[in-house]
Amino acid sequence: MRIAIFCTVMLISAAGPARAQPVESRTSVSGIAGIAKTYDDEGSIGRGWLTGGSIERVLFGTTRLEGSLEWVTHSRDTGHFVAEGDTVIGGFSLVHRFGRRTVQPYVLGGVTIGHHSGTSRFDDLRFTPSGTDAGFRFGGGVAVLVNQRFEVSPEFRMNGFFIDNDSNPWMIPSFGIRLGYRF
């Protein structure tokens, strides 16, 4: 009996200090900057910049609901064909993170709506496509927690639209770096 008590006392005294698991924040806001490429039904209508922001809220476990607003530009000049414009994209996504550690891979999927406006010219033929289309989105990334409040995430996202006008974008893949703040 004394040996069992002695072993228990030694085990307890050798253990490190106990720390409570930090409470994970339930809401975060983030901004993103990066690059994107815009496609219409016949091919690429140019590359450009991506900027935007989002708000996330935990629904359950490691699954979150995200609302985002992004702005994508595009420009292409090949001599005979010239296109430039921008697309404002809004959407809602379910984001599922794998784990609760410092590095958290994640996937996302949801619905999107995009408003495109621009100009295109093929030789002497000029037109100004503009329209609003709905669609779906998917993507993924890796959230790296810098500290308890800040995170950095390289992220790939694909927005696809159901277009009525074949001059409007039907697909916009993008890659960016997301900086987030948890509260």
What are 82-115's pLDDT values in tens digits? Answer: 999 999 999 999 999 999 899 999 999 999 999 9
- CB-CB neighbours of 117 under 10 Å: 14
User: Has residue 85 been placed in a domain?
Assistant: yes
Residue 48's domain comprises 26-182
Can you give the CATH number for the domain in which 163 is found? Answer: 2.40.160.20
Report which DSSP code applies to 78. Answer: -
Report which DSSP code applies to 7. Answer: H
Tell me how far apart the alpha carbons of residues 101 and 25 are, in angstroms, rounded to a whole number. 13
User: Has residue 38 been placed in a domain?
Assistant: yes
3-state SS of 44-65 is: EEEEEEEEEEEEEEEEECCEEE
Looking at every residue in the chain, the average pLDDT score rounds to 89
Q: What angle do CA 110, 114, 117 make, to 5 degrees?
A: 165
User: Has residue 67 been placed in a domain?
Assistant: yes
How many separate domains does the chain show? 1
User: Has residue 136 been placed in a domain?
Assistant: yes
Backbone angles phi, psi at 6, to 5 degrees: -60, -45
Question: The whole model's pTM is what?
Answer: 0.83
165 confidence band (pLDDT: 50, 70, 90): confident
Is the distance from CB of 177 to CB of 153 less than 8 angstroms? Answer: yes
Average pLDDT over residues 119-143: 92
User: Has residue 11 been placed in a domain?
Assistant: no
130 closest CA partner among 164, 158, 157, 80: 164
Is 75's pLDDT higher than 50? yes
Average pLDDT over residues 54-82: 94
What does the pLDDT read at residue 5? 66
Is 18's pLDDT higher than 60? no
What does the pLDDT read at residue 43? 87
16 confidence band (pLDDT: 50, 70, 90): very low
User: Has residue 9 been placed in a domain?
Assistant: no
Average pLDDT over residues 72-82: 91
User: Has residue 82 been placed in a domain?
Assistant: yes
Tell me how far apart the alpha carbons of residues 130 and 165 are, in angstroms, rounded to a whole number. 9
User: Has residue 17 been placed in a domain?
Assistant: no
